[in-house]
Structure 1
Amino acid sequence: MKVMKTGYKLKSMIIVGVLSVALAGCSGSMNGMDHSKMNMEETNESAKASDAQTEKPAVLTGKEINLTTSVSNQEIAPGKTLPVWTFNNSVPGPQIRVKQGEMIKVNLKNQLPEPVTIHWHGVPVPNAMDGIPGVTQNAVQPGQSFTYEFKADVPGTYWYHSHQDSVNQLDRGLYGAFIVEPKEGTGVDRDYTLVLDEWMSSGEMSGMNMSGSNMSGMDHSTMNMGEDMSMYDLYTINGKSGSLVDQLPVKQGDKVRIRLINAGYLSHQIHLHGHEFKVIATDGQPINNPGILKDNVVSIAPGERYDIEFTANNPGRWLIEDHGDKAAVAGMKATIAYEGAPAGSDKANESEKLTAVDMSRYGQASRSNFTLDQKYTLQYTMNLNTEMKNGEMVYTINGKTFPETEPIKVKKGDTVKVRLVNNSKTEDHPMHLHGHFFQVLSKNGKPLGGSPIIKDTLNLQPGEEYVVAFEANNEGNWMFHCHDLHHASAGMVTELKYTDYKTDFVADPNAGNKPE
């Protein structure tokens, strides 16, 4: 169900074309437009507006940022250029780095053929700035603009992405890193951000530009999950695969921080070669007294972020790479290059099975905001499942799909305990709560045994159960959904609603709002 990242496989086009006819508008064109009848010359002209090669992602700082969405093309792997949708003509979009406590203004201008928004994933922004079409704002129409303003209160590693028809728009490249630096500074010599993603590359139809429309109404939220996910045959770091991935230069003695952001729809097992390291933060929130690790993988699910730190004390050229049994993992690796180190001093071992860091037992216990046995204002259970309804595979919360799912209703100041259970047989569900951080209290019935773990996105593998808790301290109407956006688009969404919150937002029925 992850949308085609615009490298299309002919087989999938046939499958989805049939589904589009069968579902008769289930894949809903924006603003009532039938994209199967879109003027292809107009689409090609919009693509020509950007060169065949996009710019390298920039780093933007300051209190006012300008982001423009547009159609372009980008070389994803050697010799493999794909049509993409971009922020500021690159995938990922520019990394935005701001200082804790700053008021930020981001001016979004939409030059795409479809509406967009920006969601600030993990950042506790005011509700009106959350970027959810039909919930907090109307989608920004082609040729129109919208300004986001908020205070960057909480330091950490975050990211931004479109939340309009997001299963498709993220897959085309509409995302970027958002870093809030602490007032006291980062305390490292090198600070690198690696945004992980997956793309489809096989069987492009030569001579036809596919980036400006949904290709005859294709909607990837309707694709066969097993087949679709296996079609992601290019894994990327910062929009590049294989030899195109930038090296990470270091000097001996440097303290190095690597921020890992998963913008894709598959989990990745990231291994740092040649060095001891620590996981110092998850979803931007610090780990208390993290322990030293060696030859472990960090498992990072869709929407999650993990920050690792190491001292550059082993001169050479070392890999940081994905591990797994798919051929595509070979493309998701970067080289940590010491100054003066000869080429070829490290070898890939992406097929080796290594133990993943168990975050439920990692770090050192300390005082935390919540406990399992304290009294809570509200307790809620979310049973997550995969079901067939009316001949379609859907993803449910307590047996219902959005918008029929029961919202979590709170008032400001309430304490909320949520039990999450993954009843799906084969699929992970990385659950993301907007506007809030939650504390993970237990995993599979056992209380956490290490550092307090504070997150906004938590992955549940099949059969797993977690209990989390949070304070209702940010008024608004917020989404709580699976960040495998195929699952969200097929129903696995609910809302956290403050009953005493009054919004001025009025949804425009002509805006083509698609919040999932």
Structure 2
Amino acid sequence: MRITHLLIAILLISFLSACSQQGSETNANQEKGDTAHVKEENFTGKKVNEFDLTAMETTWKLTAENTINAWTYNDTVPGEQLRVKEGEVVKVNLTNELQEPVSIHWHGIPVPNTEDGIPGITQDAVLPGESYTYEFVANDPGTYWYHSHQNGVDQLDKGLYGTIIVEPTDPKEEADIDRDYTLVLDEWESGNYQVENTDNTDHDNMDMNNKSGMMDGKGMGHDMSSYDIFTINGRSYENSKPLKVRKGDLVKLRFINAGYMVHQIHIPIDYKITHVDGQKVNKPQSVNKSLFEIAPGERIDVEFTADGSSNFTIDRHGEAEASQAMKIDVVYEDRNVQDNKHETTTNTVDITQLGKQRESQFSINDNFDVEYEMDLATQMSMDAEMGMVWTINGKTFPDVSPLKVNKGDKVKVTLTNNSMDKATHPMHLHGHFFQVLSKNGEPLSHSPIMKDTLNVKPGETYEVAFLADNPGNWLFHCHDLHHASNGMVSMVNYNNFKAFYQDNGNVDNQPE
């Protein structure tokens, strides 16, 4: 009898152990027998848009006093804009003329895993003098961007990024747009480049903390005050050209943050935020002269009607001296009008309170197949270049336990920012859109918000959900790449995924 009881106890312990998961994953996800394959795409009968992008070094003038050696796609910062229609094929031939390996990641576009452009995960980085071709169907309309994912913390800093716009095929979606402008925000470290006639910028007034509690700087890790030049589309205000409009125009502005700081953007007229990360806001309301925040990797689409009353300036709010260069004028080309009196404001848009509620893909009360918690934090480390590492569940990449899913799973992830350096963490999921379910325990009660990059501020907690519908091995990481390159990276791995790539060590692949 005692032996029987002992066997039962052993079996019970084994069963409980098998049901447990490492890290912070709950509702243990058992692997299914079916092999998961890369998402298949049918190119038959579709228009193919073929582009040639060359990674190359370029002399680029940021300001009247500052000329740098930038790394570019096709000799410009940002790189050449790619524009296609929903449902069309994108074919990009990348040629590397730099002295370092590069890649292209299609930020926000749920491409097949083979096309994600992550060295060491989905491909080898493209060596100097070599070429590589990406090909996928642009099924999801919206505002996106592309950038190198090889040693991204340095390569993006040097300008290796561009924009890609997928226009909707439904004529009702954007048929009335008269002017369509893309505005890419970035910051530059003049001291790290070959700079001509550099003035000595005073960093004493860098706004390290603003009223929302986020950091313009990154505290103990990377001194963000070294970013002393802010630009829109690779140029400071003095070198920029105004955005021209006519009275009655419906104007669309696509803001993309390609840098590592959160920027507060002020538009001093009534406007609507119509899309976040390329995804529609349901029945967006008019926003009266408010600020909106855009974090690294995020995109915000704004629309307004040019009423003909006055010219005005879109600018960045903040105490940093460099903020004065991150602005651009909107002027009427068909009339002589006065300039708008630009007033300051502290009103800030909350993206979780945009638009009107409607039926959505997920609900906070759904039964999820997998639930996973991501504790975003920091640790001091004598071995780290910055003296600090940024962690997920107490670990740094590649030692972070992956989020394991089966194809078809409904997945909920809880993101909490406990970083002791009080830094923000714009968390970016590759290959999928996710729905924001709640913020600090409060379910969203306005428009469903679908994103691929979500800024989690100090002390905040978000619940998000996604459908595991794109088999592969995907990154889920902070898009302040100083944090990612120092540990804040995890993986979403599909169970029984049929591998198509193996890193054989022939290339120095650096996925962050």
The TM-score range, normalised by the shorter chain, is 0.7 to 0.9
| Correspondence 1:379 to 2:374 | no
Cα deviation digits, residues 173-213 of structure 1 (max 9, x gap) = 00011100000252200110000000122486679xxxxxx
Q: Paired residue for 1:23?
A: none
1:303 is displaced (CA, Å) by 0.3
CA contact (8 A) 1:410 1:498 kept: yes
CA distance in 2, matches of 1:345, 1:158: 32
Q: Paired residue for 1:200?
A: 189
CA contact (8 A) 1:421 1:460 kept: yes
CA contact (8 A) 1:315 1:341 kept: no
Cα deviation digits, residues 302-340 of structure 1 (max 9, x gap) = 000000000001333211111111111110111111114
CA distance in 2, matches of 1:206, 1:85: 15
Alignment match of 1:452 (pick from 431, 438, 448): 448
1:276/1:231 CA distance change after superposition, 3 Å:
same
Cα deviation digits, residues 139-197 of structure 1 (max 9, x gap) = 00000000000000000000000000000000000001110000025220011000000
> The residue matched to 1:293 in structure 2 has which SS?
strand
| Correspondence 1:369 to 2:361 | yes
1:506/1:363 CA distance change after superposition, 3 Å:
same
CA contact (8 A) 1:235 1:332 kept: yes
Alignment of 1:415-494 (within 5 A): 415-425=410-420, 426-494=422-490
Alignment match of 1:333 (pick from 327, 330, 349): 327
- In structure 1, give the amino acid aligned to 2:418: N
| Correspondence 1:269 to 2:264 | yes
Q: Paired residue for 1:182?
A: 168
Alignment match of 2:276 (pick from 277, 282, 289): 282
> The residue matched to 1:432 in structure 2 has which SS?
strand
CA distance in 2, matches of 1:62, 1:335: 36
CA contact (8 A) 2:251 2:304 kept: yes
Deviating more after overlay: 386-395 vs 119-128 = 386-395
1:199/1:360 CA distance change after superposition, 3 Å:
same
| Correspondence 1:310 to 2:296 | no
> The residue matched to 1:63 in structure 2 has which SS?
strand
> The residue matched to 2:396 in structure 1 has which SS?
coil
Q: Paired residue for 1:297?
A: 291
1:478 is displaced (CA, Å) by 0.3
| Correspondence 1:236 to 2:213 | no
Alignment of 1:235-254 (within 5 A): 235-254=230-249
CA contact (8 A) 1:316 1:341 kept: no
Alignment match of 1:147 (pick from 133, 138, 154): 133
Calculate the TM-score normalised by the size of structure 2. 0.83
> The residue matched to 1:85 in structure 2 has which SS?
strand
CA distance in 1, matches of 2:102, 2:222: 28
Cα deviation digits, residues 221-263 of structure 1 (max 9, x gap) = xx98566311111110000002212211000000000000000
Q: Paired residue for 1:405?
A: 400
1:205/1:284 CA distance change after superposition, 3 Å:
closer
CA distance in 2, matches of 1:184, 1:395: 43
Deviating more after overlay: 186-195 vs 156-165 = 186-195
1:197/1:295 CA distance change after superposition, 3 Å:
same
Q: Paired residue for 2:105?
A: 119
Cα deviation digits, residues 109-133 of structure 1 (max 9, x gap) = 0000000000000000000000000
Q: Paired residue for 2:180?
A: 191
CA distance in 1, matches of 2:429, 2:192: 37
Q: Paired residue for 1:8?
A: none
Cα deviation digits, residues 373-409 of structure 1 (max 9, x gap) = 1101000000000111345300000000000000000
| Correspondence 1:105 to 2:105 | no
1:224/1:70 CA distance change after superposition, 3 Å:
farther
CA contact (8 A) 1:317 1:342 kept: no
CA distance in 1, matches of 2:160, 2:370: 36
- In structure 1, give the amino acid aligned to 2:369: T
Alignment match of 2:314 (pick from 320, 343, 354): 320
CA contact (8 A) 1:315 1:338 kept: no
CA contact (8 A) 2:138 2:166 kept: yes
Q: Which runs of 5+ in 2 are unaligned?
A: 1-46, 197-217
1:415/1:143 CA distance change after superposition, 3 Å:
same
Q: Paired residue for 2:56?
A: 70
Q: Paired residue for 2:497?
A: 501
1:202/1:142 CA distance change after superposition, 3 Å:
closer
Q: Which runs of 5+ in 1 are unaligned?
A: 1-60, 208-222
1:137/1:227 CA distance change after superposition, 3 Å:
closer
CA distance in 2, matches of 1:231, 1:401: 26
Q: Paired residue for 2:350?
A: 358
CA distance in 1, matches of 2:194, 2:286: 49
CA distance in 1, matches of 2:471, 2:255: 29
- In structure 1, give the amino acid aligned to 2:267: L
State the structure with more CA Rg: 2
Q: Paired residue for 2:29?
A: none
> The residue matched to 1:77 in structure 2 has which SS?
coil
Deviating more after overlay: 504-513 vs 259-268 = 504-513
1:271 is displaced (CA, Å) by 1.1
CA contact (8 A) 2:290 2:349 kept: yes
CA distance in 1, matches of 2:240, 2:220: 28
1:500 is displaced (CA, Å) by 2.2
Q: Percent identity?
A: 52
Alignment match of 1:91 (pick from 77, 90, 95): 77
Q: Paired residue for 1:9?
A: none
1:419/1:204 CA distance change after superposition, 3 Å:
closer
1:510 is displaced (CA, Å) by 2.1
Runs of 4 or more, structure 1, over 3 Å off, are 202-207, 223-227, 340-344, 346-349
CA distance in 2, matches of 1:507, 1:473: 25
> The residue matched to 1:412 in structure 2 has which SS?
coil
Q: RMSD across aligned C-alpha pairs, in angstroms? A: 1.9
CA contact (8 A) 2:247 2:334 kept: no
CA distance in 2, matches of 1:389, 1:497: 28
1:153/1:429 CA distance change after superposition, 3 Å:
same
